[in-house]
Amino acid sequence: MVRQSNNLRNRRSRPCSLLEGTAPRAAVILLLTAALLVGGCAAVRGSQGGPGREDPPPAAHQSEKLPFPVSPRMAPLEPTVVSYPNYRDPLIWVNRGIFAFNDVTYRYLLIPLGKGYVRVVPDPVRQGVDNLFFNLKTPIYAVNHLLQFRPKPLGRDLARFTINTTLGLLGLFDPAKAWFGLPREETHFDTTLSRYGAGYGIYLVLPIFGPSDLRGPPSLVVDALLNPLFYLTDNPERSAIEGFDFFQAYAPGAERYQILRRKSEDPYIFFRNLYLQGVQRDVDY
């Protein structure tokens, strides 16, 4: 099975910063501004609830579980399904309401903005921004790899951070992968909980973040505390930067949500099945 990559999942609501002052905030803002300039130069299973309605099994081919319903790394674009006999969705009607809110937000706000972002901003710039954020969040991946007792990925995390922060101009470029063959390996606290035997509990839909489970909220908090932005910036700058990080990571896959939604008979069931398929793969592999 393919491990969670998640993308959630870097898209968190944060508590207030422990540090005060304008200097750290100004430094981060200047750093992101410089990164954009340099980059420019480089040019989501259960029943419907109605009697007699057969619930379709979950979708196949999800490469990772992500908080946003669709990622550019998710394939194919057909709502193909496989059997998934057990699921826990006791909050289905609450989840459906949140899903409906998210659906409207995605279709009428995030997706149009995402399409515009991809159309207007050149790919090298978008890739540079993505590299920068990924490098900045290395402590999240490194600490979770440490807690999971995975020394090799931990070593790669540290090596990638050292190489990309220096040779890659603070992470704007990715020479660790291009020159040294060190690929990204993203992980989060929900994966750590799973590795220690914590089940997913029940299925949840979180506002904006989308498909999740009982491990999701604690993961949001712990990963937030491991994100250097929590200590380097204060609100509202931190919220703006993290919001942009969430947006830029999933903008390339925005149109896929529309395609999958149109082809699914019940979008809520489909995206729930898609998520739970990933959960089951984690258990199996």
Per-residue model confidence as pLDDT tens for the chain (285 residues): 333 344 433 433 333 333 344 444 444 444 444 444 434 343 333 333 333 333 333 333 333 434 344 433 334 445 555 545 577 899 999 999 999 999 999 999 999 999 999 999 999 999 999 999 999 999 999 999 999 999 999 999 999 999 999 999 999 999 999 999 999 999 999 999 999 989 899 999 999 999 999 999 999 999 999 999 999 999 899 999 999 999 999 888 888 888 888 888 899 999 998 898 888 777 666
Range of the domain at 201: 23-45+55-151+184-284
Neighbours of 16 (CB within 10 A): 10
Q: Could you tell me if 223 and 188 are in contact, meaning their C-beta atoms sit under 8 angstroms apart?
A: yes
Tokens (6 digits) for 283: 């258990």
97 assigned to some structural domain:
yes
Structural domain count of the chain: 1
State both tokens at 9. 């999942």
Query: Is 156 a member of any domain?
Result: no
pLDDT the model gives residue 85: 59
Q: Does 178 fall in a domain?
A: no
Max Cα separation, the chain?
62
pLDDT for res 285 = 61
- Predicted pLDDT at 284: 66
Residue type at 75 in one-letter notation: A
Per-residue pLDDT, 124:
95
Pair of tokens at residue 218: 């604690």
C-alpha to C-alpha distance for 139 and 187, rounded to whole angstroms? 11
Residue 3, in any domain of the structure:
no
Is 50 contained in some domain?
no
- Establish if 18 belongs to a structural domain: no
Question: Does 161 reside within a domain?
Answer: no
**Is residue 176 in some structural domain?**
no
How far apart CA 17 and CA 234 sit, in angstroms, is 5
- Among 272, 254, 277, 121, residue whose Cα is nearest residue 203: 272
Helices (H), 151-212: 151-166, 175-178, 189-195
